[in-house]
Amino acid sequence: MKKRYITLLILLVVLTLPYLLLSMRISDQRAVKEFQRKGITLRPRITLIAGHHLHYVSVGSDTLPTMIFIHGSPGSWYAFRAYLMDTALLAHYHMIGIDRPGFGYSDFGTGVHLPEQARIVAAFMDSIRHGRPLYLVGHSLGGTLAPLAAALRPDSVDGLVLLAGAMDTLTEPAEKWRGFFTGPVTRYLMPGALRPSTEEEWWYKTEMYHYPDSLVRIHCPVYLIHARNDKIVDIANVQYLKNAMPQAIVSVKLFATGGHYIPWNHKDSIIPILLHQSENFKAP
């Protein structure tokens, strides 16, 4: 009998470990302590928007312009922790990192279509608006979501920084295997954050060609930052996004190396670009 329980325990660990290891999130308590060691107060929150729980963290004074960081797929706000800890950025911004719907602690494990995510983020921007400039920074599929949200609130967003942003579905591999893992039963074969990631990536490939038309509403400054050797999001997305935002003031920064992970491989070059966004702001 004892041997049987040990076997069942081992089986349970084997089945649940991938979900735990691939959650790609950190508890609020642990994150708060990590920031405290740097002398920074981290404020975790959960807000309910249109039936969705959106988890986010904030640092810095809300008398400053707001900069919202939007992670890729899979991921969580924690991907941008080095930016939220940066002393130069803290001196210029009230910074927020969100867990995109389906990730982190935002209704984890259930994928949400990107247009719906955009509506959630736009409503979130409405809820935190305080008369100061507001900027969005998105990486990868977060770089897809940021302009979609900005297009819904073109007069509320004062700048976009898209890091390896994805929008041109014609440059994407078909990856038809993803469709298999979006079924009502087969979706559970994907562990942890890979489940909502697989779902939203599949939907993105099949539906996103409808949505870039809305980007013509964007009229703020936009930075498109990409690496020439990005093997995940093709560099052709830079020109695609530039063409999709004819009213925007677009600047392009290309790195020769760094791959898809430029937020971390080129952080020291990206932070000055983020600081540049607030140059004209004068605190009251």
3-state secondary structure the chain: CHHHHHHHHHHHHHHHHHHHHCCCCCCHHHHHHHHHCCCCCCEEEEEEECCEEEEEEEECCCCCCEEEEECCCCCCHHHHHHHHCCHHHHHHCEEEEECCCCCCCCCCCCCCCHHHHHHHHHHHHHHHCCCCCEEEEEECCHHHHHHHHHHHCCCCCCEEEEECCCCCHHHCCCCCHHHHCCCCCHHHHCCCCHHHHHHHHHHHHHHHHHCHHHHHHCCCEEEEEEECCCCCCCCHHHHHHHHHCCCCEEEEEEECCCCCCHHHHCHHHHHHHHHHCCCCCCCC
The reply to whether 6 falls in a domain is no
The reply to whether 8 falls in a domain is no
Assign residue 120 the CATH number of its domain.
Answer: 3.40.50.1820
The reply to whether 282 falls in a domain is no
Q: How many whole angstroms separate alpha carbon 145 and alpha carbon 100?
A: 9
The reply to whether 13 falls in a domain is no
Percent of the chain with pLDDT over 70: 89
Q: What is the pTM of this model?
A: 0.91
Name the domain count of the chain.
1
Tens-place pLDDT, residues 126-164:
999 888 999 999 999 999 999 999 999 999 999 999 999
The reply to whether 30 falls in a domain is yes
Tens-place pLDDT, residues 230-271:
999 999 999 999 999 999 999 999 999 999 999 999 999 999
CB 189 within 8 A of CB 199: no
Going by pLDDT thresholds of 50, 70 and 90, the confidence category of residue 283 is low
Going by pLDDT thresholds of 50, 70 and 90, the confidence category of residue 22 is low
| pLDDT reported for residue 247 | 96
Mean pLDDT of 36-60: 97
Q: Is 234 or 205 the better-scoring residue by pLDDT? A: 234
**Domain region containing 270:** 25-276
